[in-house]
Amino acid sequence: MKKEYKITTINFLYGLIEASFDSLERTLLKIFKEKFNIEPPIHVHILRKYSKSEIWIGTIKISIFLNDETFEVTRNFEEEFMRNILHPDCESDPWFYESEKCFSSQKLSQLLKEFHNNN
């Protein structure tokens, strides 16, 4: 599977702030069709979910199947939430979730760095 397919999938999943989970497969498939002119089988799995206060917390795994190869990436919103609420700027900085301080930004940077080092 091409490297850019994997990077697109990682960026897509970690670019989510809010989403309708029912539409994730359709949206990612549309991105692949428009950007790469392919329509690979894509599955979005909600591994677990629950609500804490008014916040949805869960884990999402995206699997892409192409040419007998499977690529999977997982995002754990519960871990992000628990780390973010401990950060001193979480409540006071209106741009916290768009900054490098947010755990999802740190996790995305880490995943892309690991991906580039291993591929």
pLDDT tens track for 1-48: 899 999 999 999 988 766 556 678 889 999 999 999 999 999 988 877
- List the structure tokens of 39: 């329509």
pLDDT tens track for 50-103: 666 666 678 889 999 998 999 999 998 888 888 998 999 999 999 988 888 999
pLDDT tens track for 104-113: 899 999 999 9
Buried residues in 15-48 as b, exposed as e (16+ CB within 10 A): eeeeeeeeebeeebbeebeeeeeeebebebeeee
Report pTM: 0.83
pLDDT the model gives residue 98: 84
- φ, ψ for residue 40 (rounded to 5)? -75, 155
Under the banding of pLDDT at 50, 70 and 90, the label for residue 118 is: confident
Range of the domain at 111: 3-118
Buried residues in 57-96 as b, exposed as e (16+ CB within 10 A): beebebbbebeeeebebebbbbebbeebeeeeebeeeeee
Q: How many domains does the chain have?
A: 1
pLDDT the model gives residue 15: 81
Cβ atoms within 10 Å, residue 113: 10
pLDDT the model gives residue 68: 92
pLDDT over threshold 80, residue 49? no
